[in-house]
Structure 1
């Protein structure tokens, strides 16, 4: 059975349910990262070589940055869905997902398993959100009936003046 264009469009659409699910996932990850990097990970960090300790600190900041950008993007999507923000134009720069630096696989490989798990989880959810954000850019805006009417009126006015 072939899917209609409407069904494909609905699958790709960012729904309130998807936003809520991703928001919950991001907040759980944020809580886990805070608990690890601020508390449980202190002993792990102290057991590392000095260079790896610096890498641990940098990667904890990268995890935090990814999560911050994800949560901000999801909250913006919620505001668009509820009408708090009047337009759903994802092309506007302030509504795009913020840039987060990639993790260095060599540095990540030197870190404790718990840190690696959090880094990989943050990278995974960030990549999923990034695909959603980029998908908004690839969507052509729906043709506006008002703009089409204005175009016809302009053509008619020009035709009448010249004809």
Structure 2
């Protein structure tokens, strides 16, 4: 029996079951695979494609690639924390404290933004997939930990985001 944030002792929370069971592996693999795919694209084919873009579109590409990278780092941090809890390396309470530093609300340019359709199709696909994954993880996070409850989703804006990411990664890999 799993108790939910609604207070119902009989409520089964599917997101919690998924994250804290072997069925988490496909989600983890998808997220980490997307991180690797985006890194390879941005460092290779994407870098070449960006050089041929008109100036205004190149600016949009640069801004959106930063957002994409940030979004994927946040997702990777969340996934690593959940994996640590799933494998018993961290308690759920430890994860809740650490995940308070994770932001799952990275903005993105709208698809109707000027120049969006001129961006490389592979890049637009990576952005869309990252946004879809972020939305899924955000829903799961809210179901498991509650919105703005202990550790909230957005984290504390006063923290240094780079330092927070380093701390999260060190914790997830057991070096913290």
Q: Same fold (TM over 0.5)?
A: yes
8 Å CA contact 2:75–2:104 kept in 1: the answer is no
In 1, Cα distance between the equivalents of 2:104 and 2:9? Answer: 32
Q: Greater CA deviation, 26-35 or 120-129? A: 26-35
Bigger Rg, which one? 1
Give the aligned partner of residue 111 of structure 1: 119
CA distance 1:10–1:102, change in 2 (3 Å): closer
8 Å CA contact 1:65–1:100 kept in 2: the answer is no
8 Å CA contact 1:59–1:103 kept in 2: the answer is yes
CA distance 1:8–1:21, change in 2 (3 Å): farther
1:9 to 9, 12, 22: 12
Question: What is the RMSD computed on CA atoms of the aligned residues?
Answer: 2.7
Show structure 2 runs of 5+ residues with no match.
Answer: 1-7, 150-176
Show structure 1 runs of 5+ residues with no match.
Answer: 141-163
Query: TM-score scaled to structure 2, two decimals?
Result: 0.65
CA distance 1:137–1:83, change in 2 (3 Å): same
In 2, Cα distance between the equivalents of 1:110 and 1:8? Answer: 47
Query: TM-score scaled to structure 1, two decimals?
Result: 0.70
Give the aligned partner of residue 157 of structure 2: none
Aligned residues: 136
Q: Which protein is richer in helix relative to its size?
A: 1
Is it true that 1:19 corresponds to 2:27 in the alignment?
no
1:60 to 65, 73, 77: 65
Shift of 1:35: 1.8
